[in-house]
Amino acid sequence: MLYRRSLGFKWFMVINSVIMLLLVAAILIPFLHLLSVSLSHSSAVVGGKVGIWPKGFNLDAYVRVFEHPSIIVGFKNSIFQTVLGTTLSLFMLTICAYPLSKRTLKGRKLLILFIMFTMFFSGGLIPTYMLVKSLGLLDTIWAIVLPFSITPYYLLLMMTYFGGIPEEIEESAMLDGLGPFRILVKIVLPLSKPILAALTLFLIVYYWNNWFNSMIYLNNTDKHPVMMIVRNIISGSELAGNAAAVGDIGNSVSTASLKAAAIMSTTLPIMLIFPFTQKYFAKGVMIGSVKG
Amino acid sequence: MKEVQGKRASRWFAKGAALTLAMSLVLSACSGSGTKDKGGAATEKAGDGPVTITMMYDDNPSYPFNASWPVLQEFQKQANVKLEIQPTPDADYQNKLNIVLSSGTAPDLISSVGHPVYMKFAQTGVLLPISDYMDKLPNLKEKLEKYNISEELDNWTLKDGKLYGLPFMFESAMYNTAPVIRVDLLKKYNLEAPTTMDELYTVLKKLKEADPNSYPMANLNGALGLLNLSGAAWGVGPVYNGFLFNSESNQFEYAYTSENYKQYLSFFSRLMEDGLADPEIFTSSTDQWKQKMATGQSVFTYTWISELGQINADGKKNVTPDFELAPLPPIAGPGGVKGPSAQRINFAYAIPESAAKKPNFDKLLEYVNWMYSDEAINIGTWGIDGETFMEKDGQRDFTDAVKESGSIQKALWNVGASNNNFTTVFTYDWFSKVLNNPLVESLTDEANQKNWFPAVAKVPKLTPEDKEEETMRNTTVHDYFMRMQEQFVYGKSSIDKDWDNYVQEINEKGVTRLLEIYNNTLK
């Protein structure tokens, strides 16, 4: 630990901290600006007077967003899609990746090739749509969660991770009389918490943010997720001629605040998930599990 | 030991994989039967009760779809139908149309079909030829004659002479976009409102001298927006894909290689060079543009007259109590005193060809015909009798509650009226009452008298093969045109030196071929 006392190290710490602070500021300031725009009065926003502190504080923009007839249903649908999609994906990825991570599996290379092929080539939008339609999934939640439950890239991550678990651990479990399913559930999965946590986070963010599939496959507002509604609000406020009608004259809500409020109310929930999964990322579970 | 164990394990894994496959099949089968039942119910009821009509609906964020709108209820009651509405966000509506029409899953009725999507699909036989059923649509026929709209309707008629859509019509063109200027500043510096482009340059120059930090002219909606709103005055609009129809020579011409367009470029590059135009003239977002206008950084722009109320209110608070942006008559350029292009048919309703085989088809045509009746148009525009409007001595007007609500438009939207998906015609007396702006009304009167509205752009009637080639070439030409326009205006290319190269290049990239295709259609 002697190096910590050297002058070079002190300089390194100073410069490092400055760079990190700048980086944090670059991320935090736009976010705070958007937050304060969402809480400010129209004339201050349009006058360009809003920095990172709200001017003419009011919640009207949020009231406006939540006045939308489908937004509450939208939140419910988003949560449902996200929970179902993430659970299903994790399940499918696990049971697909585990066997494929075993070198002794016959035809493994061919199977992997089939799956990886879809990473680079896809059927295209309309053929995929027609497939979903022929499977009878149109206008159901399955159209949103099933076709996307196995993402080749995530599968690759998971396979690599499973493959990295020393075979000796599984062998000894097998000697103790465990079958492959119980080995997977009792030994492998507990050892794979970091990758599971990472993928859960990716999947949650993916399903929460994905409005496109819902737009294509769902016909009914009762099923639309909140992101689709928010996207419509945002792009609508971009239309001139239309925008005048969105905010009434003399009203405290400008289109900029409305947009900011819509973005805030949908990104905040997802941001709250990060702290809960973060602790799994750094953990080196595997260290020391193999002896000699 | 290891070998044996490996084999056993791999068999287990194989079983696991089979299980997964089976499970996913079961899952999809379950949900599959669910939707099939629903589809059957929608089309089965052809008996006495209200017939169900499925409809794709363009969900506008200003008035998000609400199933309990009184106007929607009234529509279903009066026409004795049940509308099963599939709302799709406006932002992605035309995209979804593309997918739905390509895959043959379109519902009975589709609203808000834009011209490009219409032209793309009408030729493929996906859409029902409406003109074949005109005898069953007397109301539509009557309205088309009444509004004297044949010139515009011609742009929606295909090479086979058939119409594949039900037009959504404005009774009259409106002067609702205009050049707007800060009249309080004109008064302050004793300037005249500009009537020609040269005068505009002088006025902008004087205003810049008065406030050297300002950029007098701003713009929203990018380069194409500016061309849309001011192109006719410069003689380079309205265009179809950049092509003008010259009625004298009876030929199409490419607008963006013309002498007029060269002048247009010179004008804006001069504004840019002298700091008279906002450096973000082609890139400002609506919010940025609004900020520039409301803070007094810019004092001249082309925009919707309906936007001015809000900006003036914000400007009075931020800049000066005298702040007033006001619309002007068209500023004359080489094209004469011409306003913005004034389309009276912006989009159409469409019925997919497949609907003709469904049992509810007769009822569907009946409903569509009803949509063009005065009764339906009244409900769709004025709303509910006694609630949003009153009729007195044959004159209709909004109720006081609506008038005093702050925004007539919004009050109508709240009951489902003034909705592009339900109504088929916006009548002039109604629309001017909704805009509720005496300036729009008087300027529209003047525009009609003085002939400010330019003729609509003529759309060539292409064969499917030509259409395909058009799409391909047009993309290349358009990209190049946009790039060069920016370079000329920002002075990265010199108009004196590089113009001939530009003309030659764009001709080679496809303009020559497109001209050939378009002019062939006239023979």
pLDDT, tens digit (0-9, with 9 covering 90-100), for A119-132: 888 888 899 999 99
DSSP B160: T
Percent of chain B with pLDDT over 90: 70
Inform me whether the C-beta atom of residue B494 falls under 8 Å from chain A C-beta atoms. no
State the smallest CA–CA distance between residue A222 and chain B in angstroms.
10
Most confident of A252-256, B19-23, B76-80: B76-80
Instruction: Kindly list the residues from chain A whose CB atom is less than 8 angstroms away from the CB atom of residue B9.
Output: 102, 104, 180
- Please give the Cα distance from B405 to A249 (Å, whole number): 11
Residue of B32, B105, B295 with shortest CB distance to A137: B32
Taking only the tens place, the pLDDT of each residue in A186-206 is 999 998 888 898 899 889 999
Task: Average the pLDDT over B155-173 and give the result.
Answer: 93
Q: How many CB pairs under 8 A join A and B?
A: 194
More reliable by pLDDT, A162 or A254: A162
Q: Give the pLDDT confidence score for residue B232 in this predicted structure.
A: 94
Q: Which amino acid is at A217?
A: Y
Contact B313 A43 (CB under 8 A): yes
- The per-residue pLDDT of chain A, averaged, comes to 86
Domain B51-170+344-426: CATH superfamily, name plus number:
Periplasmic binding protein-like II (3.40.190.10)
**Partner residue opposite B102 with nearest CB, options A126, A139, A141:** A126
Mean per-residue pLDDT, B148-159: 92
pLDDT at B4 over 60: no
Does the beta carbon of B88 lie under 8 angstroms from any beta carbon of chain A? Answer: yes
Average pLDDT over residues B378-391: 92
Q: Which residue has the higher pLDDT, B124 or B201?
A: B201
Q: Are strands B51-59 and B109-114 parallel, antiparallel or unpaired?
A: parallel
A1, pLDDT greater than 90: no
For chain B, positions 307-346, list CB contacts with chain A under 8 A. Answer: 307, 309-311, 313-314, 317-318
Tell me which amino acid residue B30 is: C
| Boundaries of every domain in chain B | 51-170+344-426, 177-341+457-520
ipTM over 0.90: no
Q: What's the CA angle centered on A62, arms B58 and A278, to 5 degrees? A: 100
Same CATH fold assignment for domains B51-170+344-426 and B177-341+457-520 = yes
> B323: distance to nearest CA of chain A, Å?
13
Answer yes or no: is pLDDT of B30 > 50. Answer: no
Q: Is the pLDDT of residue A49 over 90?
A: no
* DSSP assignment of B249-297: TTEEEEGGGSHHHHHHHHHHHHHHHTT-B-TTTTT--HHHHHHHHHTTS
This model's pTM is above 0.90 = no
| Greatest extent of chain B over all pairs of C-alpha atoms, in Å | 101
Strand-pairing partners, residue B63, are none
Write out the two tokens for A290: 């193999």
Residue B60 pLDDT: 87
Whether A225 has a pLDDT exceeding 80, the answer reads: yes
- The set of residues, in sequence order, having a beta carbon less than 8 Å from that of A127 and lying 6+ positions away, is none
Q: Do A46 and B24 touch (CB under 8 A)?
A: no
Give A196's strand partners: none
Contact between residue B333 and residue B152 where contact means Cβ atoms under 8 Å apart: no
Average pLDDT over residues B485-510: 95
Which superfamily does CATH assign the domain made up of A71-219 to? MetI-like (1.10.3720.10)
Q: pLDDT confidence of A283, banded at 50, 70, 90? A: low
Residue B287: pLDDT band by 50, 70, 90 thresholds? confident
Q: How confident is the model over B263-269, as a mean pLDDT?
A: 96
Give me the helix-helix angle, A71-100 and A152-164, nearest 10°.
50
Secondary structure class of B55 (helix, strand, coil): strand
Sequence ranges of the domains in chain A: 71-219
Burial code of A118-140, b = ≥16 C-beta within 10 A, e = fewer?
eeeeeeeeeebbbebbebbbbbb
Q: How far is CA B428 from CA A14, B15, B418, in A?
A: 70, 71, 13
Per-residue pLDDT at A56 exceeds 90: no
Most trustworthy range by pLDDT among A48-57, A263-272, B97-106, B500-509: B500-509
- Cβ B369 vs Cβ B270: under 8 Å: no
Who has greater pLDDT, A289 or B381? B381
Please state which CATH class domain B177-341+457-520 belongs to: alpha beta
Mean pLDDT for B176-191 is: 94
**Is B19 a residue whose pLDDT tops 80?**
no
When scoring B286, B404, B431 by the number of chain A Cβ atoms within 10 A, the one with the most, hence best to mutate, is: B286
